[in-house]
């Protein structure tokens, strides 16, 4: 069965969550599935013809920002000629083209809507309106809609009266070594520096506490990040670290921390939270339905800096949470995720 995947930067994975998902779908695929993955040539100096058995097709368009719309649309048009049985579209930015696409395609269309992208604070009013329109079109015209979190699934049902398949992400790839490492005296976060991740709240909580905190993120990518770095880098117990992509280095930060702090408030199941759960650490998560569904209500939850500060005071002596490890092993492994996708191809 030929399955084309649209919407990622490409393979090998070199960017973010979508790419990691596709990398592992290819790695754990059934022998009767043939993947074709569309890639942005702008991100690869070396252009492979195939990767782990998947055929790679390069387009000279960026897969991110406003150009992602054209990237997805041209990828769809290309599938008119290659005629795969299934087309997977990751994200909704190019889905305004779906009504036209379906006139000329007999492929089964599966759309993963990602988080509720139009609600993110980083977008302008126009961008939010466009993404909401794209989301509505994607949900209407897709043969199957995938949500990565039960909270997203409930939103789609309430907003569009549309049923969806809930498929999350794996996280065991973050375990690059054994976990018998000494616990050091710091709490840890790795994330993009965006308002909906409540970065200011997290940093504020530690600025009024005695606990050490290390936060890895893209501090210079926005005025928001630059302002926060200037505001909080003066605190001796807070270390603001530039982006780290080496899984081995990230493993050490995660394995040695006293607990993981997760501030995301939108976006469904977040890969960084799933990865942290595989370490069996105590997790302090922003209190929203997405995070509660992901952790099965087994983390510690906060809504303000004061809440988080109180949780740290009352629970800092406990660094482990074996229940979260069990949840991660049961639900968030790549072989499970790959099989869930493949079950949709023939349904």
- State what percent of residues in the chain have pLDDT above 70: 98
Digit-coded pLDDT (tens) for 45-80: 889 999 999 999 999 999 988 899 999 999 999 999
**pLDDT band at residue 245 under the 50/70/90 scheme:** confident
Distance, CA of 176 to chain centre:
19
**Superfamily per CATH, domain 172-331:** Glycogen Phosphorylase B; (3.40.50.2000)
**pLDDT band at residue 147 under the 50/70/90 scheme:** very high
Query: Cα–Cα distance between 51 and 30 in angstroms, integer?
Result: 15
> Cα dihedral angle (259, 263, 267, 273), rounded to 10 degrees?
0
- State what percent of residues in the chain have pLDDT above 90: 84
| Confidence (pLDDT) at 82 | 94
Q: What is the 3-state secondary structure (H, E, C) of 38-68?
A: EEEHHHCCCCCCEECCEEEEEECCCCCCCHH
If we measure between CA atoms, which residue out of 21, 3, 17, 4 comes closest to residue 334? 21
Give Rg (Cα) of the chain. 20
Query: Cα–Cα distance between 245 and 171 in angstroms, integer?
Result: 15
* Across 13-30, average pLDDT: 88
Task: List, by residue range, all CATH 3.40.50.2000 domains of the chain.
Answer: 2-170+332-345, 172-331
Per-residue pLDDT for 268 more than 80? Answer: yes
Query: Cα–Cα distance between 28 and 20 in angstroms, integer?
Result: 12
Query: Cα–Cα distance between 3 and 80 in angstroms, integer?
Result: 13
Q: For the chain, give the number of residues.
A: 347
| Confidence (pLDDT) at 192 | 92
| Confidence (pLDDT) at 15 | 62
Residue pair 19/271 in contact (Cβ under 8 Å)? The answer is no
**pLDDT band at residue 187 under the 50/70/90 scheme:** very high
150-160 vs 125-141: helix axis angle to the nearest 10? 90
Positive or negative, the CA dihedral 294, 296, 300, 302 is positive
Query: Cα–Cα distance between 120 and 130 in angstroms, integer?
Result: 13
Query: Cα–Cα distance between 211 and 235 in angstroms, integer?
Result: 11
Residue pair 324/330 in contact (Cβ under 8 Å)? The answer is no
| Confidence (pLDDT) at 118 | 65
| Confidence (pLDDT) at 267 | 81
Per-residue pLDDT for 1 more than 80? Answer: yes
Digit-coded pLDDT (tens) for 284-310: 999 999 999 999 999 999 999 999 999
Per-residue pLDDT for 191 more than 70? Answer: yes
Digit-coded pLDDT (tens) for 169-179: 999 999 998 88
The mean pLDDT of the chain is 94
| Confidence (pLDDT) at 178 | 87
Token pair, residue 14, equals: 């070199």
* Across 118-139, average pLDDT: 83
Query: Cα–Cα distance between 249 and 43 in angstroms, integer?
Result: 23
How many Å is the maximal CA-CA distance in the chain?
62
| Confidence (pLDDT) at 94 | 94
Q: The CATH number of 2-170+332-345 is which of 3.30.70.100, 3.40.50.150, 3.90.110.10, 3.40.50.2000? A: 3.40.50.2000
If we measure between CA atoms, which residue out of 112, 110, 120 comes closest to residue 21? 112
């Amino acid at each position: 069965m030929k399955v084309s995947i649209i919407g990622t930067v490409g393979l090998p994975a070199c960017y973010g969550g979508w790419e990691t998902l596709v990398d592992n779908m290819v790695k754990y695929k059934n022998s009767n599935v043939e993947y074709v993955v569309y890639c942005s040539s702008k991100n690869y100096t070396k252009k492979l013809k195939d990767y782990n058995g998947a055929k790679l097709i390069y387009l000279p368009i960026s897969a991110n920002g406003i150009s992602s719309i054209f990237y997805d649309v041209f990828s769809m048009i290309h599938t008119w000629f290659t005629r795969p049985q299934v087309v997977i579209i990751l994200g909704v930015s190019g889905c305004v083209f779906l009504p036209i696409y379906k006139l000329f395609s007999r492929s089964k269309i599966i759309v993963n809507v990602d988080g509720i992208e139009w609600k993110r604070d980083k977008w302008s009013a126009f961008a939010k309106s466009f993404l909401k329109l794209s989301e509505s079109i994607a949900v209407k015209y897709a043969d199957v809609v995938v949500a990565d979190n039960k909270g997203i699934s409930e939103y789609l049902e309430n907003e569009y009266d549309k049923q969806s398949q809930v498929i999350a992400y794996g996280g065991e790839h973050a375990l690059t070594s054994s976990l018998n490492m000494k616990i050091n005296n710091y709490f840890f976060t790795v994330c993009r520096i965006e308002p909906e991740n409540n970065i200011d709240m997290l940093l504020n909580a530690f600025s009024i506490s005695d606990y050490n905190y290390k936060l890895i993120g893209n501090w210079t990518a926005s005025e928001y990040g630059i302002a926060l770095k200037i505001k909080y880098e003066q605190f001796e117990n807070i270390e603001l670290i530039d982006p780290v992509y080496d899984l081995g280095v990230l493993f050490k930060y995660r394995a040695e921390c006293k607990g993981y702090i997760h501030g995301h408030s939108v976006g469904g199941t977040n890969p960084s939270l799933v990865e942290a759960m595989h370490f069996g650490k105590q997790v302090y998560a922003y209190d929203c339905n997405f995070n509660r569904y992901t952790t099965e209500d087994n983390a510690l939850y906060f809504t303000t800096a004061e809440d988080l500060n109180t949780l740290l005071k009352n629970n800092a002596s406990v660094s482990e949470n074996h229940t979260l490890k069990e949840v991660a092993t049961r639900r968030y492994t790549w072989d499970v995720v790959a099989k869930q996708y493949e079950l949709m191809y023939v349904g």
